[in-house]
Structure formats: C-alpha cells, structure tokens
Structure 1
Amino acid sequence: MKQSNYKNLIYGLIFLLMLASCNKNYKEMNVNPNGVSAAAPERLLNPALYAVVSANINWNYSINNQLMQVTVPFTEANDVHRYILKPSTSDFVWNAWYLEKTNFLDMYSIASKNASSTTVAAKPYMAIANILDAWTTSLITDTFGDVPYSQAIQGKSDAQFTPVFDKQEDIYRDIFRKLEEANKLLTGLTSGQLFTDTQKGLDALYGSSSTNVIEADRWRKFGNSLYLRLLLRASAKSDIMIDGLTAAQKLTQVAASPGTYPVFVNNTESAILNLTGETYPLRSPFAGYRDNDFQAVGSLSEFFVNTLSSNGDPRLPIWATKVNNAYTGIQSGYADNNVPARGSSFAVSLKLDPLLGNIINYAELQFILAEAAVKGYIPGDPKTYYNQGVQTAIEQWRLTMPANFLTTGDILFKSSGTQSEKMEQIITQKYFATFFTDFEQWYDYRRTGKPSLTIGPGVANNRILPTRLYYPIGVQTLNRTNYLDAVARLGGDNMVNKVWWQKP
C-alpha cells in the first residue's frame, strides 16, 4: 500500500530523531532490570540481520528492479523505471539501514568489553559485528555518497544530533580497516566456538537451530568475500591506502592469499539468509502478499526476458510466467500514455523462496575474480572464473546447467574479445547471479556502465540512469548545515552527480 508524501515526511523525521537522540535498539530492549545490565551480543545478531535483509529485498523489489530493467510497472503512476524518484523515497532506506547499523555497533561494543577476559568469546562477536557493520555501511554510502559516519548515531552518548557527513573515501578506508580486523579476530577460531548465551539458533546465517555454536570459518569467508567486492568497487581509485597498498593492489593480495584471507569455495558457503516462507522468525517479506499482489509490481522487462530466453537459461521458467504460451518482456522507460500490454511476471513460487535472502554468493565472487583477471589485478584465465560463476549461479537455484551451455551463443566467453566485450559478458551474468540482491545490479552498472541497457523514450534525469539517491527530506531539514556542506562537495543533491568511486 502506498503512503502519501506527507506521511513519508513525518515518518522520516520521526525515525531520524529516534536515531539521533533515542538510540533505541535491541540491546535496550533485552535489558532485564532485575538481571544483567546488558544484552548478550549474540542476541542482537538475528533481529538486526533479518531487518536489513528484509528491507533490502523490499527495496530491490520496488526500486532496483525498475532501475535495472528487471521489472516494468503496468501503470504510469509508478515512474521509477523512468528515473523519477522523490527525496521521500530515500527516507525509509536511510532510516532502516542506520537503525540496524546501531545494533551492529552495539554488538561490537558489548563484546569488546570482554576482550580482555581470558576467554576468546569476545572475538567472534566483534568480528561478526564488524562484517555486518561494514556491509550495511557500504549500502548507505554507495547509495548516497558522503554520509554521516564518524559522528553518526551519537545522539544519546555524546548529544551529537547534527553529525558531519564524512567523505566516502574516508568511510571506505574505515570499512576496509574493519574487515581486516574481522579477519584477524576470526583467525584460528574453530567452528565449534560457543556463544556465551545458551539459547540455540542464535546465528540464523550460518548456525543451526539445534546448536549454539559460531561457524567462525564461514563468517571469515563471508567477510573476506565482501572485502573483495568492495575492493573491486574502489579499485579504480588510488587516493586511499590499505596497509600501504591501493585498493587494486590490496585486491591482488587478498585474492592471492587464501590461507590468510579465506573466501567462499562453493555455493554452500554463500552468505544467504535462508528465509522460512510464512513462518517466523525468518518470515519472507512477501508472506503477506496475495499472489496477484506479488505480481502487481509489473511485467518483466525485454532485457531480462530476452537475455535469458536467447541463451536457453534454465532459470527463466522458475523466475517468470508465460503469456500466451511464451515468455514476453515489455519496454522499460516507455513514453507517457503508451503503457505496453502486459508481459511475463514473476513466478508466484518466488514469493516465498528462501534464496531471496541473498547477501553475497559464491557465483558473485567468481565474477569478481573474472573481472579482476580481465583487468590484470590477478593472474589466471578470466574464462575459468567466468565459467565457474555461470555454472554455480544456475546450480544455486537448485538447477542443473544444460550440456554445452558454456560453449554456445552469448554465453561462450570471448577470450579473444576486447576488454569491453569481456566485461559485458561478466557483468551480464553477474546481473543474474545478484537477482534480488539489494542494489548490487545498480551499483555494478554505475561502476561499469554494464550490462548494456536500452534506455527507453520516456525516461527523465537527462536520460542518465540515476547515479545515487537524493538525501532524505528529514536530513535536509534537521541537519541542514552539514547537508549543504556535503551537497557542495557533491556538486548538487541530484541523481546525475557521481559518488567518489564512480568519478574518473
């Protein structure tokens, strides 16, 4: 159900004030006045992780999928596919991410108070908090650019209600520091490291509902795979250093050191919060949708359907419906008063699929390595990584890759092609590997200009696919001085100016 812009504004202001002054979080909710004075850090993990993943699924469904030509709405009232987004769109995105970032920071803080203890119990909690904070922070800054970071979420502790906006390059530098620290903290820990809390099922990502252990090795691989994603995103920039290395050089080091920086080695290690359909606590965000409501987001686009169909991709039948016994996409960015006939929609079975909880998977990692090899950051044949990415992206969806799939048509890797042609293939297949994954398709397009999308006749924003979202209305109003400073650095609060890692 849509809300009016007035309601969006009011809710945005309320949430911002909550973040700045109240700092309500799961730690306070779990305090027992007759018992312990603070929550066990692991009690913060599942609720905050689930909240971020759920929010990401919803925004992928309503924003990313239209921008990146996965879906096209049936009506002209929904204009995201034509690059028409309002500042109020940003309010819920900003507020939800910052709220859960608070919980990850609290998790680290609570655990670190025990760091001097003889037990090693503090280490995994500190590492997990760093990984999830780095992930959430990357989403915030990659969506908006310069954002509050060093002074953020200090309303309660330091009466800091108008935090400065840190430069994105400084934020990335600290993200990398946190991922380095997480890797070191998890080094040498076993997968049987016990939580301090005796309740079972406190790690919904890698744990088991029947145990209370930390899968330290898997969390470590998640952190380092995320590290490679973000190093690649910053790899064209040379103005930050990590251990005396540029982002590209650090990527080379991490990729070449599996003993020091272990990463995913198969699909089972992917960071996917497997949703549980209609049952709590990992209930699908779409569990309350009727089938028609789930499909009402729109038809699938020409690009999405035609690319899968022309390649004989086995994922098409489990992702899409047929219209008149055929898979049919419609034009994205259609002109005013020219709404196309309905085409294929999302398959109803997707609504409750546990794989919608994807954070970063093994196939994406393979495409990261394929691009790194194409650009000379790492040795090896990019075709090997590319082929592995294509195959495992299909297998992740419980399917078998067709025979000869890698040797036919547009799937066959162009080993003798130009770098641009190789990048087109890699990013196109990565686009499908990151299906329903927050804004990853959009981030990749902004960074590489790929996959090559046909821009429709009815788009706005100077026919430029948005390079960022507007800052929220609440931020513009309540933190205006620092907002204006950030906007001045950016060159204007619009959707055509580029964030740091996009700039040449």
Structure 2
Amino acid sequence: MKMKKIVYWSLIAVSIAASLSCTKNFIEKNTNPNALQDASPEALLAPALHQVVTRNQNRGMRIGNELMQVHVTVVESREFHRYFIRPSEPDWMWRHWYLQLNNIRDIYTSANTSQENGYQTFLGISLILDAWVSSMITDMFGDAPYFEASKGHEGNVQPHFDRQQDIYADIFRKLEEANELLGADVELPEHIKGLDPLYNGAPDAWRRFGNSLYLRLLLRVSGKAASGAIAKIAEIVDTNSGNYPIFTDNSHSAILPTGATQPITSEFFQWRDLDFNGDKGYSEFFINNLNEWQDPRLPRWATQVSGIYAGMPSGYAPGRGVERMSTLLVSLKQDPLLGNIMNCAELQFILAEAALKGYITGDPHSYYEAGVVSAITHWGLEVPEGHLEKNALKWDDNLNFNEKMERIHLQKYYTLFFTDFQQWHEHRRTGHPVLPKGEGLMNDGRMPSRLMYPINVQTLNRANYLEAVQAMGGDDLNVKVWWNTPD
C-alpha cells in the first residue's frame, strides 16, 4: 500500500508540474541517486523527438484528423467532427509538449556548457526543435508560457503567459541563430552521430530543416505587418538564398522513421487493428478527391469496400445511422512516413502561395507542380502519366486568386497527412481547402479557432491564466489567435 501511494503521488506531481510547463526536478525525493542528473545532448535528443512525434500522431489522429475530415468516427461520444471539443481534451498535448520542451532546452544548456568538440551543432538543433514545439503550443492555444516555461527547477511554478506576437518574434530569433550555428558545418563526433535519428548529425540537413520550418512559420504570420514576415520570406528565397539553404528534394524532408523497430516505434505499432481503424472511416471529402484524381496514394492509405474506395459523411447528425466505408490500411500503423515533421512537398506549396501573393519572384505554377510531384514520390510512388493535366489538378492561369489558393491548399492538405495539426492551422489561416458542412455540426457550424487552456492550468496558475484570457478576449474555441486576427 505504501508503494502504491508513492507511485500515485509521484504521478500527481508529474501531472501538476507538466501542466504548469515546469517538469524538471519537481521534487528532490523522486530523483534517482544512481542516474546522471545532467544528461548529455545526445542522450536527450532521440527521446525528445520520439515523444513529440508519437504524441502528435496520437492526438493528430484523435482530434486533427476529425476536425479536418480526414476520417470520421462512428463513436457517438467522440464528436470532434461535429466541432465539439470537451474541456478535458487540451491537457494531454499541453502537458506532453511542455515536458519535451523542457528536455529540448536542456539540450541547449548541456551543449552550451560542454567542452566536447562538435557540440556547437547541438545548439542549433535544440533551437530548431524549440521553435518547432513552441510554435505548435502557441498555434493551438494562442498566448502561452514561453520565456518562463520550463523553469520549475528555479522555483517558478506559475509562469507568465507571453503574447503570441512576442513568442513568434523569439522563435524567429532562434531560427536565425540556428542557421548561423549550423552554417559553421561543425561535424558531431562519430560515436554520437548515430544517436540523431532524424539526420544522423548532419549540420547541413538540420540547417535546411530549420530554414524550411522558418518559411512555414513566416507564412503563417505573414498577414500581420508587424511580423516583418513578407520581407524575410523574400530574403530567404530570393535576395539571400545562399545563406538560407532549404529543402530541395524529398531526401531533405524531416521524417522521424517511426515504425515497428525499437526504439523509434510508431505510436500505433502495438495498437490492435480494431483500435486503429475499427471505430473510424475515411470521410467522403478525403476519398472523393483522391478518386477524382485517380491518385496513386489511395491504395497506399485506404481499404476498399466492395471493390471501390468510398467515404462517409463528416458532421453527421447525432443518432443518424452511418455506414463505415474505406478505412485506414493497417499497414500504416508501422509506416515510417507517419513520422513526418515537415516534408519537401509542403515547402513547395508554401513557395507556391508566396509566389502567388507576390512575396517572392518565382512562378506559382512551377512550385505547385513540383509540390504535386513531390507529394506522390514522397510515398515511394510514381506520378501517373498525364497526372498534372487532369482537369481537377491542372494549373490554370485563368483561375482567380481564391481558386488558385484552393488548388494549392487542397494539394497541401493531402501532403500534411498525419502531420500533427498542420492541416487545421492552415485551414484556420486561409479558409482552404473548403470543407463541406454536415447537418450535425455544433459550435454554430464554425471551425474551432483554437483549443481552450487546460483545466489544470486554469486552476493552478489562475492569476496568469486570467490575465492571458483578458488579453486574448476570452478562452473559448472561437477566440482567434494573434496571427489569425485582421491587421
């Protein structure tokens, strides 16, 4: 009984500390005296990466895929596809993201104090991962603890919430610093390279990822003049591209190869088939587009029903009987490509939009077609003969601006398949792709603009929570984050 109580209270302490985004050294009695207290950067990197990606896989499937009509549940009590999100839902991602943000910042601290040759590269890596995780937190919630986050070990268990505008400014500062650090091309020691499961310690590969992520986030805030994003996009792509290498082919993509091989396993590889696809089916929207295009990814992703690929309606009314149609192939449970963080195809569609809006001098047509090709070959498939000339795919200069945006973002939507919550963020930002509205939608039929703050945070960091809520104009699903408000 005594041991059970110790474990129980240890779990409570972990939960509270994580909810406050301060998860390090939450209580001295829970410190293992036989373990290293200052972990080396290489010891922290793979576990942090793995934890973030697998948690993203879990909740991306549960929440993001349903909001964005990738698939639809047949479980009546789970109503994300109807735009209903219970107040308890946000805690899980908040807690896990902040836990790993702490570890990622420890990578920087450890590398910064190490005398080991080559650890300069770990500084750059940690800054990129910090920017990645921090952007996911603020994109989902808005204002959030950032500058005071992960300081529980210093006694700050009630961190201040920072404005999203300030968070993004510092994210961009970190990506600039990472680009400079990695530009020195300092090789990691040979015995450490293999402990980097993403790029095997290659500074140039990490640098390309950091700058490609930079473009993703710059485009996200480009509607805010104060961000300076438009000028920076032009600098990275046009005027100073030599100093900002980015993805140029699929080999550069940031993909953690999660599968069935220890220790980098998929979130899903031990799930029962019934848990993976037995309570959900692909939506009509998701399947119908792929059918129209005769897209080669369909048999890579979906099962057939009576010899065809078919979807089910999203946002169906409660109590309405719906038939589950095509489902996720069970082979996806162990597919390494579901560990996608950011791929080359996404970058091509970022460049296509930037060119369409006149931010850069390139041709949106060329970037769009490069994105379509890259998105298919990313899955190890060949682009069918004449694919880019199909009516629903062909780039037409006679289309108006919104029609071109829809074309770009519809393709981008499929490129972001199982990429955390990026489909949702992009839809919130642009309104594309246009999703059909089911008869059973709640929230007045409005796509949620953010998630509410976790209940634990509302209770345990109440003063700072209330200040943040006042600054943002409320704490509900329809309050827009800074980058999503009109200038």
Structure-1 residue corresponding to 2:222: 235
Mark the CA change 1:22 to 1:227 in structure 2 (over 3 Å): closer, same or farther. Answer: closer
| Contact 1:31/1:39 (<8 A) preserved | no
Structure-1 residue corresponding to 2:132: 135
Q: Distance in 1 between matches of 2:294 and 2:374?
A: 16
| Structure-2-length-normalised TM-score | 0.93
How far is 1:200 from its partner?
5.8
Q: Structure 1 stretches (4+) deviating beyond 4 angstroms?
A: 10-14, 18-22, 28-34
Structure-2 residue corresponding to 1:204: 197
Q: Distance in 1 between matches of 2:22 and 2:381?
A: 49
- DSSP-derived class of the 2:453 partner: coil
Q: Which amino acid aligns with 1:51?
A: Q
Measured against aligned partners, the alpha-carbon deviations of 1:398-419 in whole angstroms (never above 9, x if no partner) come to 1000011001121001222111
User: Among 325, 338, 341, which residue is 1:343 paired with?
Assistant: 325
Mark the CA change 1:203 to 1:152 in structure 2 (over 3 Å): closer, same or farther. Answer: same
| Structure-1-length-normalised TM-score | 0.90
Measured against aligned partners, the alpha-carbon deviations of 1:268-318 in whole angstroms (never above 9, x if no partner) come to 11000011x322101111111122221124110010000110111110111
- DSSP-derived class of the 1:93 partner: helix
User: Among 144, 147, 150, which residue is 1:147 paired with?
Assistant: 144
Q: Distance in 1 between matches of 2:169 and 2:312?
A: 42
- Which has the larger displacement, 312-321 or 173-182? 312-321
Structure-2 residue corresponding to 1:60: 60
- DSSP-derived class of the 2:434 partner: coil
Structure-2 residue corresponding to 1:270: 253
How far is 1:120 from its partner?
5.2
Q: Which amino acid aligns with 1:206?
A: Y
Q: Distance in 1 between matches of 2:470 and 2:321?
A: 39
> Is 1:184 aligned with 2:180?
yes
| Contact 2:185/2:204 (<8 A) preserved | yes
- DSSP-derived class of the 1:72 partner: strand
User: Among 297, 308, 319, which residue is 2:290 paired with?
Assistant: 308
Q: Which amino acid aligns with 2:415?
A: A
Q: Distance in 2 between matches of 1:147 and 1:20?
A: 10
Which residues of 2 match residues 50-129 of structure 1 at below 5 A? 50-114=50-114, 121-129=118-126
User: Among 156, 160, 164, which residue is 2:160 paired with?
Assistant: 164
Structure-2 residue corresponding to 1:218: 205
| Contact 2:14/2:23 (<8 A) preserved | no
Mark the CA change 1:434 to 1:100 in structure 2 (over 3 Å): closer, same or farther. Answer: same
- DSSP-derived class of the 1:176 partner: helix
Structure-2 residue corresponding to 1:3: none
Structure-1 residue corresponding to 2:3: none
How far is 1:325 from its partner?
1.4
How far is 1:238 from its partner?
1.3
Which residues of 2 match residues 318-357 of structure 1 at below 5 A? 318-357=300-339
Structure-2 residue corresponding to 1:456: 438
Q: Distance in 2 between matches of 1:20 and 1:444?
A: 26
How far is 1:38 from its partner?
2.6
How far is 1:84 from its partner?
0.8
Structure-2 residue corresponding to 1:210: none
Q: Which amino acid aligns with 1:444?
A: E
Q: Distance in 2 between matches of 1:264 and 1:32?
A: 44
User: Where does the alignment leave 5 or more consecutive residues of structure 1 unmatched?
Assistant: 1-9, 208-213, 241-245
User: Among 242, 255, 259, which residue is 2:242 paired with?
Assistant: 259
How far is 1:162 from its partner?
1.0
Which residues of 2 match residues 452-491 of structure 1 at below 5 A? 452-491=434-473
- DSSP-derived class of the 1:239 partner: helix
| Contact 2:281/2:312 (<8 A) preserved | yes
Superposed CA RMSD = 2.1
Structure-2 residue corresponding to 1:283: 265
Structure-2 residue corresponding to 1:243: none
Q: How many percent of aligned residue pairs carry the same amino acid?
A: 48
User: Among 411, 415, 438, which residue is 1:433 paired with?
Assistant: 415
Structure-2 residue corresponding to 1:417: 399
| Contact 2:22/2:149 (<8 A) preserved | no
Q: Distance in 2 between matches of 1:11 and 1:452?
A: 43
How far is 1:367 from its partner?
0.2
Q: Distance in 2 between matches of 1:362 and 1:139?
A: 19
- DSSP-derived class of the 2:89 partner: helix
Q: Distance in 2 between matches of 1:329 and 1:471?
A: 33
